[in-house]
Amino acid sequence: MQRGRLFTASCVSLVTTSMVFAIRGDIAGALSSTFQINDQQLGTIWAPAFFAFTIAIFICGAVIDTVGMRATHVLSAIGYFVGIALVLMAPHPTAPVSAIFDNTGTTMLYAGFFVMGVSQGLVEGVINPLVTTIYSDEKTKWLNRLHAWWPGGQVIGGLLAVAMTQMFNASWQLKLTTILVPSAIYLVMALTTQYPQTERVQSNVTTAEMWSEAAKPLFLLLFVCMWMTAAAELGPDQWFPKVMGALVPKLQGVLFLVYTAGLMFLLRFFGSGIAHRNPIGTLFICSILTAVGLYWLGGLEPGSGALVAFAAATVFGVGKTYFWPTMLGVTAEQFPRGGALLISIMGGTGMLAVAVALPYMGARIDHYGPGAALQMMAVLGVILAVIFGGLNAWFRMRGGYRAVELTKSSTAPA
C-alpha cells in the first residue's frame, strides 16, 4: 500500500477545498459588485456550498464502502472543474438583484457554488476514513496533520490572491481559476494510486453495527458540539477578509485570514501530538481561547491599530486550531465501528452548521456591523467550554481517555 502517496493526495485535495474557501472570501466584494447583491444575499449564495457539502458527505459516508474511495476521490476533482465553469459562465445582472432565483446569473452562481460544495463534501468523505485506515494506530495525530493543509490551503490561496491583486490587479475570475491547478494534480494522483478498503470493512463490522453506533449518547453529544465548533471556526473565517478589512482598513483583510491560517498550519502539523495525548482537554482549552479571541476581535473599533488586531486574531487563531480534526479524531477513536459513516456525519454536520451561520452573520453585519457578528459567535465558545470541561472530567473519572481498537481481518485493496 502506497501510504505516503495516499496521504499526499489527501493533503492536495484538502488544499484545493481550502483554496476555494480563501479565494471565495477574497473575491466577496467583487462578487457583490459584479452580481449586484448585498451581503445577506451573498451569504445565501455561499450557503449551498455548505449544504451541498453536507449532502455529499452524508451520502459518501453511507456508500463509500461499496463505491470505493478512489472513484469518489476522482469524482470530487471533476466536480471542481464543473463548479468553477458554472460561476465563470454566469451572466452578470444589469440591475440590483431582488431575488436570487429570478436572475440567470445569480442562479448559475448559486449552482456553481453548490457543485463545488459537493466536491468539497466528497473530498472530506474520502480523506478522513482513508487516513484513519492507513494510520489506524494514531488517528487523531494524523487527522490533525492532514487537516493542517486546510489552513495551509488558506495561506496558499490567500497569499496568491493578495499577490495577484497587488502585482497585476487580477480579476476575480482569474483568481478563481487558480483552484483548478491543485484539482488537476490530485486527480492524476487518484487515478494512478491503489486505495485500500476502509477500516470498518477490513474488520468485518456489519452495516447494521455501523449504523447502531450513531445512537450512542456520547456520539449524540459530540454531534451537538460539532455544530458549534464548526460554526465558531469556519463562520468567522469565511467573513474574515471582509470584516477585518473594515476594522483595519490600512491592511487587506485577507492577510488576517492568512495569518491565523499560518498559525493553524504550524500547530496542527508540528503540534499534532498535543491533541493526540488529550483530545478532550485540548477541545476545552480551544473553546476558551476561541470565545476570548472572537469577543476581543468584535470589540475592535474601525481604524484600530494593526498590532492590537493581530494580537486578538492570534488568540482566535490558536483557539480554533484543533476543533475540526480533533472532533473527527475523537469520533474515529471512540466509535471505530461507525466507520466512514460516523466520520462523515460529523463532517457534514460541521458544514451544515456553517451554512446556517453564514446568512445570520451576513445579516448581523448588514444591520449592526462586523464586530457584533463576531461577538455573537463568541457565545458558542463559552457553551463549548462548559460541555468539554464536563466531558473531560467524565473521562478522568473513568480512568482517562483511551481509543477503542478494532482487529483487522483483511487488507485487500479496493
The residue segments making up the domain with residue 336 are: 3-397
Residue 1: its pLDDT value, please?
A: 63
Nearest to 24 by CA among 265, 241, 324: 241
Asked, for residue 360, whether it belongs to a domain, the answer is: yes
Q: For 196, phi and psi rounded to 5 degrees?
A: -85, 170
What is the three-class DSSP state of 47?
Answer: helix
Closest Cα partner for 102 from 51, 110, 113?
Answer: 110
Q: How far lies 165's CA from each of 158, 168, 312, in Å?
A: 11, 6, 26
Tell me, yes or no, whether 102 lies in a domain: yes
What confidence tens digit (pLDDT) does each residue in 29-76 have? 899 999 998 877 887 887 777 778 788 888 888 788 888 899 999 999
Q: CA 405 → CA 89, 279, 328, 408, distances in Å? A: 49, 16, 16, 10
Considering the entire predicted model, what is its pTM?
A: 0.83
What is the four-CA torsion angle of 51, 357, 320, 134, rounded to 10 degrees?
A: -10
Q: What is the DSSP string of 170-213?
A: --HHHHHHTTHHHHHHHHHHHHTS--BPPHHHHTT--HHHHHHG
Q: What is the pLDDT of residues 276-292, one digit of tens each?
A: 889 999 999 999 999 99
Q: What is the pLDDT along the chain (414 residues), one digit of tens a residue?
A: 689 999 999 999 999 999 998 888 789 889 999 999 887 788 788 777 777 878 888 888 878 888 889 999 999 999 999 999 999 999 999 888 888 888 999 999 999 999 998 998 899 899 999 999 899 888 989 999 999 998 899 889 888 988 998 888 899 999 999 999 999 999 999 999 999 988 777 777 787 888 899 899 999 999 999 999 999 998 887 677 667 777 777 766 667 777 888 899 999 999 888 888 899 999 999 999 999 999 998 888 776 777 888 899 899 999 999 999 999 999 999 998 888 889 988 988 887 888 788 888 888 888 888 788 899 999 999 999 999 999 999 999 998 898 888 765 444 433
Q: Which of 227, 165, 173, 170 is nearest to 351 (CA)?
A: 227
Evaluate whether 172 touches 29 at the Cβ level (below 8 Å): no
Phi, psi at residue 305, to the nearest 5°? -65, 150
- Give the up-direction half-sphere exposure of residue 387: CA atoms within 13 A in the CB hemisphere: 20
Confirm whether 239 is domain-assigned: yes
Look up residue 2 and give its DSSP letter. -
Neighbours of 276 (CB within 10 A): 20
Would residue 408 count as lying in a domain?
A: no
Angle at alpha carbon of residue 30, lines to 25 and 36, rounded to 5°: 115
Task: With respect to residue 276, please indicate whether it lies within any of the assigned structural domains.
Answer: yes
Among residues 221, 394, 217, 238, which one has the least CA distance to residue 320?
Answer: 238
Question: Closest by alpha carbon to 116, among 151, 86, 91, 137?
Answer: 86
> How many domains does the chain divide into?
1
Asked if residue 412 belongs to a domain, the reply is: no
| Residue 411, domain member (yes or no) | no
- Cα distances (angstroms) measured from residue 257 to each of 72, 319, 380: 30, 14, 20
Distance CA 378, CA 372 (A): 10
Spatial CA neighbour of 84 closest among 186, 181, 150: 181
Closest CA relative to residue 5, chosen from 189, 197, 137, 132? 189
Give the domain CATH number at 196: 1.20.1250.20
Burial class (CB in 10 A: 0-12, 13-18, 19+), 184: middle
Which 8-state DSSP code applies to residue 413? Answer: B
Tell me if 407 is assigned to some domain. Answer: no
Q: Rounded to an integer, what is the distance from CA 147 to the centroid of its chain? A: 9
Q: Count other Cβ atoms within 10 Å, centred on residue 390.
A: 12
Which residues sit opposite 78 in a β-bridge? none
Backbone torsions φ then ψ of 143, nearest 5 degrees:
-70, -35
Distance between CA atoms of residues 86 and 240, nearest Å: 25
How many residues are present in the chain? 414
